[in-house]
Structure 1
């Protein structure tokens, strides 16, 4: 396996041991490129912090409060990377991003439908229902070059009674980074209807060269209607440590979140807090190396698709390590199943992210260059047979 700067690739054996879901559940002949985990060793500052915490026995209940070392660490990271002034006391821990979205929806939003732009991260489809709300989809054009929201349709959904927009930015699975102008236009529609935004920004540290992340709460006129949910988990490969963050800019919203019953939000991990603090305070150099690696992987994927799958169309990959491929040119409704059955390649089917959408797959490129070449080869020999 190769390396880029501080990034070390797992061997297959290491990956099967460390990535229990992504690799450990697969048959030995299957190459996994599906769930959003990276085939890279843990950032040394995070690994060292966890080792120290385990040696000190930090395995008890976490404190149910805002601010603290976690709030200070996230505020420093936001200032350095996004020029976003975050009040550390407005940062609260939660178990993961999906749980954080649900808590924000139940504690802060008026009762009414939640708008979900699709394709969408598939666990998001069930969040509103758990809160007794409907999910109203806002489909994005699969043939459009970018993942820009249809503001007229958004306006119509709010006019018909929707009360919350779940905005995933950077977008998963389309890899789009919303511009300031796009976000301001969305804000204006939301404000006109007195609605609310929950902004899932877990992929924000993974914006690739050529784009810049603008936090929704960094926009003027958003403090009174928005909450951000984020985590170090995607950028630093620590989802199993279970610690995301809710960020508000309104003390009243923060207090409402803190007042939620412990049974709704008491399950994050103190080791997750340790890892997040280390990532946010000591992980910049490793993260820069990661973004460099992912940028190279993006270029390699583009060239391999051109050579091996010339009819494939890829959304501009501006962020994340998750490529969204349109394979309809090859005439298969379900290329993901075909790839698994015939090519022993596990990618995710597009209809998981937008029910009824055929011919699309999501491919995880956070692996070694050698594996990425093999991923495209296996995909090509199955869909272009």
Structure 2
């Protein structure tokens, strides 16, 4: 039976005004399909919409009070406890506008001054550019391959720390490859980090978005040492499609870090939006059914991608996130593949080079569109390949 999300046509999304669908132009007489920005096309959960309406009706646009922060922290902790088996102390769950704000605060307040930052690549694009803005050297650590899976290169991470780096940026589930790291791999990371007295910034914003047998494991739960060296960041923004509401969470996991955050975290917390906090509370507490519906719908899109015939492209179907990695090096293009497919197929994807040197020749494809839009996008990509 048709799903209600199937009615979300490209024309409907272009009229909606989101950044994801705002790229101007067309290809061969057809409008462009937005498949680059990491947001979903799906309408938000009723509980979230009700919370935003209540914010407007009640003029809840003032500065964020402690009580609403506490409510969000409790809802976040309860969700994580039920979903992932780890319920952090709500007093150690603090508000931030987004994960990048949490990252910036972590670099400034929880790492050695001037120390380099290690980043497994391909990576979420801002993690490659923000360190320089903070006066830090970035060391790219290309991920390795084990069969068809992307894996963390522990030896390279070890060498990076030995060379003086002080922080590892860990994104799990991984953006842009969709890898959900297993507990043993994360425990091995913790061993390397602890041996060097280093820190981890664990970006777990996609934690609720896993498929099949893959299960998200909070990094801090995979080793007895991990809570002592980790700052975890998350948000309801990806799983419930709320990025514009600007409300994320920093999760501290030891008393010393919690005390240090209390002393230094004011500016990082200050930009958090009151309606976003109320919406996030509703998402964690009252919109789990909507999330399950979305996960089931995305399963269909993952299966559709897995079955697609895209000659010359090595497709990595994600175990987590709604972001797929397409390695187009087999096409032998003389230009970035994203440029080719924007022009020839009208499908706008993130170019892999923006994700680091290890991503050059690849693309990130957003699967969180309607089934008909994904079908059109894959058909266009296939036709563009065959017309080369």
**Cα drift, residue 347 of structure 1:** 1.2
Tell whether the 8 Å contact from 2:227 to 2:253 is kept in structure 1 after alignment: yes
TM-score by length of 1: 0.93
1:33 is aligned to 35
Matched, 1:124 2:127: yes
**d(CA) in 1 for partners of 2:77, 2:340:** 45
Matched, 1:78 2:76: no
Tell whether the 8 Å contact from 2:116 to 2:165 is kept in structure 1 after alignment: yes
Q: Which range moved further: 190-199 or 348-357?
A: 348-357
**Cα drift, residue 261 of structure 1:** 6.1
2:365 is aligned to 363
**d(CA) in 1 for partners of 2:226, 2:250:** 15
**Cα drift, residue 255 of structure 1:** 2.2
Q: Secondary structure at the match of 1:300?
A: helix
Matched, 1:3 2:3: yes
CA RMSD of aligned residues (A): 2.0
2:165 is aligned to 162
**Cα drift, residue 271 of structure 1:** 0.5
2:291 is aligned to 287
**Cα drift, residue 243 of structure 1:** 0.6
> Alignment length, in residue pairs?
380
Q: Which range moved further: 198-207 or 31-40?
A: 31-40
Matched, 1:299 2:303: yes
Q: Secondary structure at the match of 1:234?
A: coil
Query: Of the candidates 268, 271, 294, which is equivalent to residue 272 of structure 2?
Result: 268
Q: Which range moved further: 49-58 or 173-182?
A: 49-58
**Cα drift, residue 189 of structure 1:** 0.3
Q: Secondary structure at the match of 2:91?
A: helix
Q: Which range moved further: 216-225 or 367-376?
A: 216-225
TM-score by length of 2: 0.93
Structure 2 gaps, min length 5: none
Matched, 1:22 2:20: yes
Structure 1 residues 281 and 260: alpha-carbon distance in aligned structure 2, compared to 1, 3 A threshold: same
Q: Which range moved further: 17-26 or 171-180?
A: 17-26
**Cα drift, residue 253 of structure 1:** 0.8
**Cα drift, residue 8 of structure 1:** 6.8
Tell whether the 8 Å contact from 1:338 to 1:383 is kept in structure 2 after alignment: no
Q: Secondary structure at the match of 1:147?
A: strand
Q: Secondary structure at the match of 1:206?
A: coil
**Cα drift, residue 9 of structure 1:** 5.0
Q: Secondary structure at the match of 1:229?
A: strand
Deviations 1:246-304 (A, max 9, x none): 00111221222222264444111001101110000011111111111111110011112
Q: Secondary structure at the match of 2:151?
A: coil
Deviations 1:120-148 (A, max 9, x none): 01111122223221111101247852221
**d(CA) in 1 for partners of 2:262, 2:7:** 40
2:331 is aligned to 330
**d(CA) in 1 for partners of 2:66, 2:268:** 12
